[in-house]
Amino acid sequence: MMSGRVLLRLLAASLALGACIVSPQPTPPGEPTLLADLISPGGPMDMSETVRFVGEPGAVTPPEGDVVVTDLDTTELPTVLPVAADGSFDITVPGAATHEFRVEIVGPGGGRSKPVDLVLNAAATAFEPGPRPLADCLLLDPALSVSFDGAGDTKNIVVRNECADELSFLAPRLRRGAAAFGFLPTEPFLLAPGGETTVTVDASAQANERVDVLFLETTGAVRDRRPLTLFVIP
């Protein structure tokens, strides 16, 4: 027969285990989701100086925050518009029909969706993914965006060459250069087949802007430009 003391210990352990099982664990807030296949240029319009982006209902989940469109071929500020209650949007931005645009959703808490890079097709009737001719063998980690917790935070971008040939890169550059991001290397570099290198980015003292785009771009016979959104979490 078990003593009263042993029974009390078993009961206490059982209660503690039950508390561990049923206690809810905090989860990080979900990031916005943007569905590229629900974005179109809308109906016919003059796109010589502006480009229209129409997101169908459900394009943004959850249906909140702002849609941000960045012309990757200029240094102009991004265009921003609130997302509608049904997850749709209709935004017209300055830019040429031949330019590449990055579309992102910024949630109320500052979280950002996975960027979608788009170009108009030849007939200007639909969007296509931004051209990435070395998509299968030029690998970046992270590939699309880098977040920073604040001034002094540093992140690394690993660049791997799994192509058959050596790759030559232009010097990394920022799209605007108005935010307080620094990076190394600042010179052109080469990457042998099978090789990898690291691009280090740091967020220094706060500036007027908290977001920019870093370009890593190959040169030579095959040009492949990779944009990475850099942003400081509010």
**pLDDT averaged per 10 residues, the chain (length 234):** 42 40 40 96 78 97 98 97 98 94 95 96 94 98 95 95 97 95 97 98 85 96 96 87
Domain(s) labelled CATH 2.60.40.10 in the chain stretch across 33-129, 138-232
- pLDDT score, position 199: 98
Superfamily covering domain 33-129: Immunoglobulins (2.60.40.10)
CATH topology of domain 138-232: Immunoglobulin-like (2.60.40)
Evaluate whether 158 touches 196 at the Cβ level (below 8 Å): yes
- pLDDT score, position 7: 38
Q: How far apart are CA 82 and CA 77, in angstroms?
A: 16
- pLDDT score, position 200: 98
